[in-house]
Structure 1
Amino acid sequence: MISTGTDAALRRLLDNGRARAATIDPHHAFLWDALVEATEGGKRFRPALVISTHDALGGTSPDAAAEVGAAVELLHTAFVIHDDVIDDDHLRRGRPNVSGTFRARGRALGATDDGAAYGLTAAILAGDLALAAAVRAVALCGAQPDVVRRLLDLFDSALHTTAAGELADVRLTLDRGPVSLAESLTMEEHKTSAYSFALPLQAGAVLAGADAATTARLGDLGRAMGVAFQLVDDLIGVFGDPDRSGKSATCDLRTRKQTPLIVHARSTPQWDEISGHLGHELGDDELDEVRALLTVSGSRAFVEELAEQHLALARSGVAELGISLDLLEAVTVRRLTVVDGREVAA
């Protein structure tokens, strides 16, 4: 899905960063290596959105678009690394993530806390490095100064919005009374839509010289697309096969994430039984039980329908602007994970 130009730009950014790290300290070079590994294995649809939008709107700055696409991917990597810290996860796509890798290094160095502090430190720093590299790449992308300024404003807005969404994601897990569906959806829009969809779509438009109305419209479509994507991700976070999705099927339940799936379940007769499965690690039998309850309650079907509504809005909008629907379908619908005989978009 990612273009050759963006692939090369990302590799160049990572290689340059490692070269700088190697001149400072070998352990810092190890940290950069872990950061590089964190960029591997994804679908890279965010850079593809930048390129597709730029091309669809008649852009003539392919090199700058490739650099900005690479920057968006690095921004994603930063958020993934920090998100794993927030969720206390040490695996990503079935293998140790940055914190998991450096926990093991900490143990090898004689840490008395199972390497936890070293792993946490490394993950925070790696995420910071990725974030700084992303902003630097935008600043040096080669576009005209006024375009670079607009791009930096877009990145800054996405950072603020995503940070607010991540904070809300944790805040809503606190025992302060029932969370409304509107609150849950706003949290999901903020933490996912802003940087994964609205940002790359709008960045591609700005690079193509699109007018303000078109750029704003793409922001709206990106938010709809992002909510659909996150709703599907929530389903995978409970019903998915971790071996195929690379995502834990118990983390959201263990951490009491107030996703629309759980918010809807609270309004059903099955809630008392469902709530007993939240807040602790689940065995296979318990996971099967809560999956069955979330299905019987109608919560699973509710979220599937809500995702389709947002996706339909995004489909119609991107079609009007001439952006490839194939790309939209690929990142929201066609990655399928089979769950107890059913297919769930991943």
Structure 2
Amino acid sequence: MTSRADDPDFRTRVDHSLVAFVDDQRPVLAELGPEVEDLADVSVAFVGGGKRLRPQFCYAGWLIAGGDPQDRGIVTAAAALEWLQASALVHDDLMDGSDTRRGRPSVHRDFESRHRRESRHGDAVGFGASTAVLLGDLLLSWCDEMFTAAVLGSESMRPHVMAARHFLDRCKTEVVAGQFLDVTGQTRASLSVDQAMTVVRYKSAKYTVERPLHIGASLAGADADLIAALSQVALPLGEAFQLRDDVLGVFGDPALTGKPAGDDLREGKRTVLVARAAELTDDAGRALLGTSLGTSDGVMAVRELIVDSGALAAVEDDIARLEDQADSAIDRLGPQARVVLGPLALTTTRRNR
């Protein structure tokens, strides 16, 4: 029987693998004192509660390429991608000025509060920001360390280490480049839908779905044709994932998303939702976007504009179209891919958090 990438047991093993890795890191951090060792607890807490999408897509690529479902090494290699994700989130929260993540204080806000509670010298905000930068860097380093140890420790994966490293390296470059596109986009008066979709592709689609699939498949010895076929699934699915994320960022339930509703609007993000609204509304609507996007007071007005202009409905149509493209590409991969990847693809875009 073919395994499914969304197997709950696999996610549990990923969780255990992450905790075990941090336990191995504790003695290294403890040598520098209790304050540094505390980063281990912060890291475990921060990475807890994630959806584990990237490890699951990595596992899906592995299974589709013929990897052994019982191979312990793939669990650890896939779990390493959670450190890359955590690194990106810590830095993303800092850049966006976000107060919470998964219902808890974001890292920079946490350490800012600690600074004040402990009556430390210096600037509390600067301390929080500096800690977030350093922790994000540490988590990125852990991604490489955990991944390399897993692959080199596996007889079946070791021969494919260079191919897998290529995709992991590309993933890291692409997500930073996509993040920079996002940051620069917020400095412009507006972005077209095509420009906003470029941010979606590089900040999220490749990093969330395509490269994890490629990494897992390459570890199992996938050829170039299979890698290309996986991209046909991954890019529309990853784009649909990010569009759903954008919708939840504006209209989601904070109790489920762990983030305040409308955060993207307060931060002035030029998402596809906003680009669609600018495209579909009139001059008065575009003027409202110009004055209200990026302000706390303007969140409700921009939300209403997104709905009334038809932008929300248009993005929901985009999501449905992309889902159909990904679904057809899964069918072209064959029945095994449908079993492995089909349920995970659905949960990627049809979610509420």
Aligned letter for 2:124? G
Residue 271 (structure 1) shift: 2.4
Correspondence 1:13-52 to 2 at 5 A: 13-52=21-60
Structure 1 residue runs of 5 or longer lacking an equivalent are: 337-345
Matched, 1:304 2:316: yes
Correspondence 1:235-314 to 2 at 5 A: 235-267=247-279, 268-269=281-282, 270-282=285-297, 286-314=298-326
Aligned letter for 1:210? A
| Deviations, residues 292-330 of structure 1 (Å, cap 9, x unaligned) | 221110111111111121121112222332133111111
- Tell me, in whole angstroms, the C-alpha distance in 2 between the residues paired with 1:2 and 1:223: 27
Aligned letter for 1:329? L
Do the aligned partners of 2:160 and 2:220 also contact (CA within 8 Å) in 1? no
Higher helix share: 2
- Tell me, in whole angstroms, the C-alpha distance in 2 between the residues paired with 1:45 and 1:148: 22
Match of 2:341?
324
Residues matched between the structures, number: 332
Specify whether residues 101 and 178 from structure 1 end up closer, same or farther in structure 2 by C-alpha distance, changes over 3 A only.
Answer: closer
**3-state DSSP class of the match of 1:123?**
helix
Match of 2:175?
162
TM-score by length of 1: 0.90
Structure 2 residue runs of 5 or longer lacking an equivalent are: 1-7
Structure of greater relative contact order (alpha carbons < 8 Å, 6+ residues apart): 2
Residue 109 (structure 1) shift: 3.3
Aligned letter for 2:217? A
| Deviations, residues 83-125 of structure 1 (Å, cap 9, x unaligned) | 1111011311221122122111111332466621111111111
Correspondence 1:1-346 to 2 at 5 A: 1=8, 3=10, 4-60=12-68, 62-111=71-120, 115-141=124-150, 142-143=153-154, 144-175=157-188, 177-267=189-279, 268-269=281-282, 270-282=285-297, 286-321=298-333, 322=337, 323-333=340-350, 335-336=351-352, 346=353
**3-state DSSP class of the match of 1:276?**
helix
Residue 200 (structure 1) shift: 1.4
- Tell me, in whole angstroms, the C-alpha distance in 1 between the residues paired with 2:62 and 2:52: 16
Specify whether residues 113 and 183 from structure 1 end up closer, same or farther in structure 2 by C-alpha distance, changes over 3 A only.
Answer: farther
Residue 145 (structure 1) shift: 3.9
Residue 247 (structure 1) shift: 2.3
* CA RMSD in angstroms, aligned pairs only: 1.9
- Tell me, in whole angstroms, the C-alpha distance in 2 between the residues paired with 1:34 and 1:7: 15
Identity %: 32
Residue 44 (structure 1) shift: 1.1
